[in-house]
Amino acid sequence: MSTVTPTSRSWYKRNEIALTPWLFLLPAMLFFAVYVIIPIGQSFWISFHQWDGLGEKTYIGTANYERLLGIGEQNIDRKFETSFWNNLKWLALYLLAVPAGLFIALFLNQTVRGIRLYKSLFFFPFVISQVVVGLVFSWFYLPREGLLNAILGVFGAGPVNILGDPTLATYGIIAAGLWPQTAYCMILYLTGLNAVDPEQVEAARLDGAKGYKMLWYIILPQLKPATFIAFVVTIIGALRSFDLISVMTNGGPFGSTRVLSFYMFEESLSEFGFRMGYGSAIAVVLFFIMLGFIGYFLYSMWRDEKGAR
Amino acid sequence: MFPTPIAKKSRGFQLTYQAVLPFALILWLLPLIAVAMFSIKPAADFANGNYWGWPSSFEGFTNYGKVFLESNMPRYLLNSMFITIPTVLGAVALSSMAGFALGIYKFKGNLFIFFMFIAGNFVPFQILMVPVRDLTINMGMYDSIQGLVLFHIAFQTGFCTLFMRNFIRALPFPLIEAARVEGVAEWRIFFYVVLPLMKPALAALAVLIFTFIWNDYFWAVVLTQGPSAQPVTAGITEFNSQFRAAYHLMSAGSIVAALPPVAMFFLMQKHFIAGLTLGAVK
């Protein structure tokens, strides 16, 4: 015993620097593998089955995907089509949060009394849960009791029922989503503007640059890290949109506000029976859409990593 | 500084700016102000169609009292607390260890594991939904607080590790080398050298994760049902069906549900913002 202990200890001691990182990584990797990495693979697997979530899975090959995308003699799933187009609308319009955030940040980047409080109050929609934002906006839009129609009434415009109108409902929800997202982008740009090099600005000013030219050629290049993060979080946020839709319209009216994330949830845990296989196929499609963006983000981060060395 | 500091502009411009600020703020927060206003009105105002006039009487105490005494709201708030706090502790603990490993040591696969954490943090929730729900049911943790906490810890570890690793990377490395020369064991370096320097990062992550988890809705709906384990974001739907069309009570309820992260934000603003910018924009 007395001979074994010192050798085993010295083995650890000798390899301490090689072993320690793995010991420190172990718990995080275990959790992450069990709850994130492995489930991604399982979802792929389930998407090739028909499964109600309880009984046996029946292997059906790519039938789920064929039904979803309308391969063969069947038509494309209409609900999927609507969801997909709505996702694109979300993506395009949600990105308005980036310039809007920049605009508000420029507006607030001053040193007057109480400006700190103004900045935090402008930011604070982001801290509220999306569920509450959804409720707040659905009351704001109410045809009879809502403030929006009260204001429109002052200008003589007729009442509109935004969330009840299939052509308007998605835009109404996106507007609600833009509110906290703009606040997020604003705070990113405010911190970015803080770090802008004052000497460069002064030098450019002496050269006669001002207004838009100054913004475009001097300020924005220095705000690049902030812009990058703003794009990342906004794109991810747009594709993740679920809470607002669920709270404000629950996919309606007539399914016009569904997006892929919501449609997947609806299929998998619907009141007409659980279609986990079909739901997983939708999730896989959404995953591949996101993977394009994730790949790009990772590539830019990797480039920065290389540059840092 | 850009735009040009207001102090260098004309007096008239300065006054206009100061006057525009409060108006812009009111316009920005209008939907919220409307809800706050609803929440102090008596029920009679809604019956009479007095939606936007001055409240006929101040009923703030009655309305908020009802929220706390005549609904499941306190239960939901408590559940949210029991879900949020262990998650914050767990995710911060796991990720500071992982961040230490990835930020300090050079080994094969370091960058690969790091990018795995980042990528996992961006995936859509839906690709995890069916297997995670299944796993939680099989472990007998469906509709329980522990089930939600375990998942949240695992998922948040991705974002937290990204944050921690970048923070630790920016620490002065000679400090660790000096400790090694002194013969300090590696795990002691973590506890006595690195951890004390990580305080700002720990604070930033803690507030941020608190907000994220408190505001989570999707996983609450997928992994729980009913007041025994549901957090306030999911419980508010049940609350709203209990007080259907009673806008003054629903408004009061949603303000109560939204308040804890708001309080957290105003108390720890500096840390919160440092966390949001992922430490990339300083």
Q: Give residue-wise pLDDT tens across range A94-145.
A: 999 999 999 999 999 988 888 889 999 999 899 999 999 999 998 889 888 7
* A56 to A42, A49, A67, B9, B109: CA distances (angstroms): 15, 10, 21, 74, 38
Provide the number of structural domains found in chain A.
Answer: 1
pTM of the model: 0.90
In a domain, B198, yes or no: yes
Residue A207 domain boundaries: 79-308
Confirm if A108 and A119 have CB atoms less than 8 A apart: yes
CB atoms within 10 A of CB A95: 18
pLDDT, position B101: 94
* A210 to A99, A181, A203, B17, B150: CA distances (angstroms): 19, 29, 11, 19, 53
Rounded CA-CA distance A188/A105 in Å is 9
Report helix, strand or coil for A49.
strand
> Cα Rg for chain B, rounded, in angstroms?
24
In a domain, A63, yes or no: no
Optimal mutation site among A104, A132, A141, interface B, most CBs of chain B within 10 A: A132
Averaged confidence pLDDT in chain B: 88
Rounded CA-CA distance A111/A113 in Å is 7
CB atoms within 10 A of CB B165: 24
In a domain, B281, yes or no: no
Residue of A nearest to B152 (CA): A35
User: Does residue B281 register a pLDDT over 50?
Assistant: no
- Could you tell me the pLDDT band of residue A225, with boundaries at 50, 70 and 90? confident
Does B153 lie in the same domain as B27? no
Provide the number of structural domains found in chain B.
Answer: 2
Strands (E), chain A: 49-50, 58-59
Instruction: Say if the Cβ atoms of A40 and B273 lie within 8 Å.
Output: no
Rounded CA-CA distance B213/B235 in Å is 15
In a domain, A3, yes or no: no
CA distance A63 to chain B (A): 18
Optimal mutation site among A17, A91, A117, A127, interface B, most CBs of chain B within 10 A: A127
ipTM (interface pTM): 0.89
In a domain, A105, yes or no: yes
CA distance B123 to chain A (A): 7
Contact list in A for residue B157 (CB cut-off 8 A) is 28, 31-32
Does B215 lie in the same domain as B193? yes
How many helices (DSSP H) and strands (DSSP E) are in chain B? 16, 0
Instruction: Say if the Cβ atoms of A188 and B276 lie within 8 Å.
Output: yes
Residue of B nearest to A129 (CA): B215
Q: In this structure, which amino acid lies at residue A34? A: V
In a domain, A67, yes or no: no
Angle, CA A187 vertex, CA A183 and CA A192 arms, to 5° = 145
CA distance B174 to chain A (A): 16
Does B199 lie in the same domain as B78? yes
CATH code at position A178: 1.10.3720.10
In a domain, A232, yes or no: yes
Does B81 lie in the same domain as B17? no
Instruction: Say if the Cβ atoms of B158 and A36 lie within 8 Å.
Output: yes
Does B189 lie in the same domain as B125? yes
Contact list in B for residue A240 (CB cut-off 8 A) is 124-125
Q: Which of A94, A78, A71 is nearest to A263 (CA)?
A: A78
Report helix, strand or coil for A59.
strand
Report helix, strand or coil for A58.
strand
User: Does residue B211 register a pLDDT over 70?
Assistant: yes
Does B112 lie in the same domain as B93? yes
pLDDT, position A269: 87
CA distance A213 to chain B (A): 12
Q: Give residue-wise pLDDT tens across range A3-38.
A: 445 555 678 778 888 888 999 999 999 999 999 999
Optimal mutation site among B122, B148, B214, interface A, most CBs of chain A within 10 A: B122
Rounded CA-CA distance A25/A30 in Å is 8
pLDDT, position B225: 87
Q: Give residue-wise pLDDT tens across range A70-100.
A: 887 788 888 999 999 999 999 999 999 999 9
Does B242 lie in the same domain as B161? yes
Confirm if A65 and A71 have CB atoms less than 8 A apart: yes
Longest dimension (CA), chain B: 79
In a domain, B19, yes or no: yes
Burial of A33 (0-12, 13-18, 19+ CB in 10 A): middle
Instruction: Say if the Cβ atoms of B130 and A140 lie within 8 Å.
Output: no
Q: Give residue-wise pLDDT tens across range B133-144.
A: 999 999 999 999
In a domain, B1, yes or no: no
CB atoms within 10 A of CB A14: 10
Nearest to A229 among B7, B98, B278 (CB): B278
Confirm if A91 and A290 have CB atoms less than 8 A apart: no
What residues pair up with A50 in beta bridges, in sequence order?
A: A58
3-state secondary structure B149-196: HHHHHHHHHHHHHHHHHHHHHCCCHHHHHHHHHCCCCHHHHHHHHHHH
Residue B10 domain boundaries: 6-60
Does B168 lie in the same domain as B45? no
Does B109 lie in the same domain as B52? no
B24–chain A Cβ distance below 8 A for any pair = yes
* B62 to A93, A182, B66, B67: CA distances (angstroms): 41, 35, 6, 9
Does B114 lie in the same domain as B49? no
Instruction: Say if the Cβ atoms of B123 and A112 lie within 8 Å.
Output: no
In a domain, B123, yes or no: yes
In a domain, A125, yes or no: yes
Query: Phi first, then psi: what are they for A50, rounded to 5°?
Result: -105, 125
> Cα Rg for chain A, rounded, in angstroms?
26
Rounded CA-CA distance B126/B39 in Å is 35
CATH code at position B208: 1.10.3720.10
Contact list in A for residue B150 (CB cut-off 8 A) is 31, 35
For residues B83-96, give the mean pLDDT.
Answer: 95
CA distance B71 to chain A (A): 18
Please give the residue that has the higher pLDDT: either B277 or B161: B161
Does B106 lie in the same domain as B194? yes
Exposure string over B46-56, b if 16+ CB within 10 A, otherwise e: beeeebeeebe
- Could you tell me the pLDDT band of residue B278, with boundaries at 50, 70 and 90? low
Does B50 lie in the same domain as B73? no
Please give the residue that has the higher pLDDT: either B96 or B12: B96
Rounded CA-CA distance A25/B117 in Å is 11
Q: Which of A130, A77, A86 is nearest to A279 (CA)?
A: A77
A-contacting residues in B 142-161 (Cβ below 8 Å): 150-151, 153-155, 157-158, 161
